[in-house]
Chains A and B, each alone.
Chain A
């Protein structure tokens, strides 16, 4: 039996990387401030001291060059992990990410393998405004060619990162700043979990029922899992039994788990910190809509997400646009009160 201890999500990610560096000479890390600093959000903490400058490479602020270099190195059989500090910065290097990393395998008819992990910080909640607070996982999940991993806690993060490094395809690994367990940013303590010391993998495309319930399915991911769990606790006190489903990966998406949960409860609320329109919440809603022949809904589908505005700076404004616990509770109560769509149409 492997020993476990309690780790923050940041420490769990760093441990996964460290173990894979020790295991495979082709693995190395590149990015801004990932060496001496240990990553702005701690995802590479301690790695430089443990593995040295050949494996842990600080880069210039040249995202096109070093993410493009990761593509070139991966095509040669290396397994680079590159950190893009904030997902909001993808605009400066999107061509390398989307026209090359995501498409070269396809355009080569499967002749090219690109085992790159691109990890990046997402999310708001600490008043960093519109250029440092977005999630954008929906944007990357929308475009074919990248696997998209969005963990909610330390245990999942370690297993999913190990899986990501061993995957022969490009993987976008997106960690929410507000669950990394940083000593300088408030976080949801549920994200700090028991983590086995030994390396392990978690398969992609397997959502997890983090709270079982029979009245309503709350489908969510990343930091919102924790808000949903708090909301579910409050709802339980009011006699409403919510199921919370953590998607864990968007590409591949565990469609079966979503449908199984909604078939059971007959009600769906999607809670998402990304933008509302054309994104993850719409995709989940569409999935259910396309399966209404086998899913009996007791109420219309509801979505909570950022209402199609950039993330504002001021605290009351930001709190208003990012879904909060009270909004989840309120929306679920509305759902429970809602009449069946068939009756509503009469």
Chain B
């Protein structure tokens, strides 16, 4: 199934939004973390600035998020990873409370208790986790709940190629196939588990081939391309909605930034990032839209201005929002 004009334009706009969000964060994150503002002798201070802690950005991996989420409704559940912004944005999590959470503010999704790896938005049915391979079991549970209630809702677990060597991956694939759960397992293969290349960690060339061990379809999308992901995900989502069970979808994608911001990336071959960026999926989709007569310069400019305003507004909101009261740390252990 090819994407409609409306879905194509939605994916294009969301990819631009994700890219702008991540590139903005890459700059904001560095505030207060570099000399001379930090302890003498340090090159970088991870705990400094308005957005402290680790920061994992997804620039380059946008096609995975938008190609899958373009098929989802609000009732469908998405569970993301430690690198979650692209999934959250594509699932419809509002930028303002999401950004405020990263600034540690009281207006954040988790009132400043989660931070960027732990975003919970029950209204838009999005969550994520800082633990590798932890998205799959809860996604099975969301799918189980939908099935028990007789709904045609689906659940999506996103995870990286590194997670496919975790026990949770294998347990979850078996469980979902056994119970024919309406779930998509979407593996983002960006080639690296932090610094270790897939070829040095994984016994098979493609994780999609592992699906056959669990009696489910395994589909490999070789190109970091939103339209290709959309087509493959469409088949899997429809299969799940029809009650025919799970699918393992693997997408070969590219991480343009470090594993985390501040990653020296000494494991990257020289010139790799420049090479990857030559295959940028955003201008490629833009060119396709122009060829189809769905986009012209004026529309592109208007779209980009709209996105920039949204992203800027979210960052201003996050920055300006109040911190929680220190003693609020004692709240919310239980409901």
What residues make up the interface of A, taking CB atoms closer than 8 Å to B? 28, 54, 59-60, 62, 64-78, 80, 95-96, 99-100, 104-113, 144-145, 147, 168-169
Is there an interface contact between A99 and B139, defined as CB atoms closer than 8 Å? no
The residues of B that contact A54 with a CB separation of less than 8 Å are: 148
The residues of A that contact B262 with a CB separation of less than 8 Å are: none
Is there an interface contact between B131 and A111, defined as CB atoms closer than 8 Å? no
The residues of A that contact B122 with a CB separation of less than 8 Å are: 75, 108, 111-112
| Cα of A104 to Cα of B168 in the assembled complex, Å | 18
B138-173 to A contact mask, C-beta < 8 Å, 1/0: 111111111010000001000000000001100110
The residues of A that contact B142 with a CB separation of less than 8 Å are: 72-73, 75-76
The residues of A that contact B140 with a CB separation of less than 8 Å are: 65, 68-69, 72
Chain B: residues with Cβ within 8 Å of the partner, total of 43
Cβ-based interface call for B332 (8 A):
yes
How many whole Å from B275's CB to the nearest CB in chain A?
Answer: 36
| Cα of A54 to Cα of B171 in the assembled complex, Å | 20
The residues of B that contact A67 with a CB separation of less than 8 Å are: 137
Point out the residue from B77, B121, B175 that lies within 8 Å of A59, measured CB to CB: B175
Knowing A60-B178, A108-B110, A109-B109, say if A100 contacts B141 (CB, 8 Å): no
Interface-side segment among B111-119, B230-238, B264-272, B296-304: B111-119
Is there an interface contact between A111 and B110, defined as CB atoms closer than 8 Å? yes
Point out the residue from A60, A68, A71, A110 that lies within 8 Å of B331, measured CB to CB: A110
| Cα of A145 to Cα of B141 in the assembled complex, Å | 20
| Cα of A307 to Cα of B144 in the assembled complex, Å | 44
| Cα of A67 to Cα of B148 in the assembled complex, Å | 17
The residues of A that contact B130 with a CB separation of less than 8 Å are: 99
Knowing A72-B79, A106-B113, say if A111 contacts B137 (CB, 8 Å): no
A-B contact sample (20 more), CB < 8 A, given A64-B137, A78-B144, A106-B332? A65-B168, A66-B175, A68-B134, A68-B136, A69-B175, A72-B142, A72-B145, A75-B138, A76-B141, A76-B145, A99-B130, A99-B131, A100-B138, A105-B332, A105-B333, A108-B118, A108-B127, A109-B120, A110-B332, A111-B120
Point out the residue from A69, A109, A147 that lies within 8 Å of B144, measured CB to CB: A69
9 shortest interchain CB distances as A-B pairs: A68-B137, A72-B141, A109-B111, A72-B138, A108-B120, A69-B141, A65-B171, A76-B145, A62-B171
Is there an interface contact between B108 and A109, defined as CB atoms closer than 8 Å? yes
| Cα of A145 to Cα of B332 in the assembled complex, Å | 9
The residues of A that contact B127 with a CB separation of less than 8 Å are: 75, 104, 108, 112
Point out the residue from A95, A105, A109, A113 that lies within 8 Å of B131, measured CB to CB: A95
Most buried by B among A66, A99, A109: A109
Can you pick out 5 interface pairs between chain A and chain B where the beta carbons lie within 8 Å of each other? A75-B127, A76-B77, A78-B141, A104-B127, A109-B113
Point out the residue from B77, B121, B148, B175 that lies within 8 Å of A28, measured CB to CB: B148
| Cα of A111 to Cα of B120 in the assembled complex, Å | 7
| Cα of A68 to Cα of B77 in the assembled complex, Å | 15
Is there an interface contact between A68 and B120, defined as CB atoms closer than 8 Å? no
Is there an interface contact between B120 and A104, defined as CB atoms closer than 8 Å? yes
Is there an interface contact between B174 and A62, defined as CB atoms closer than 8 Å? yes
| Cα of A73 to Cα of B145 in the assembled complex, Å | 5
| Cα of A110 to Cα of B330 in the assembled complex, Å | 12
The residues of B that contact A71 with a CB separation of less than 8 Å are: 137-138, 141
| Cα of A106 to Cα of B113 in the assembled complex, Å | 7
Cβ-based interface call for B335 (8 A):
yes
Knowing A62-B174, A105-B333, A169-B334, say if A70 contacts B110 (CB, 8 Å): no
Knowing A28-B148, A68-B136, A95-B131, say if A73 contacts B120 (CB, 8 Å): no
Most buried by A among B118, B146, B155, B332: B332
| Cα of A76 to Cα of B127 in the assembled complex, Å | 12
Cβ-based interface call for B61 (8 A):
no
Cβ-closest chain A residue relative to B118? A107
Is there an interface contact between A110 and B131, defined as CB atoms closer than 8 Å? no
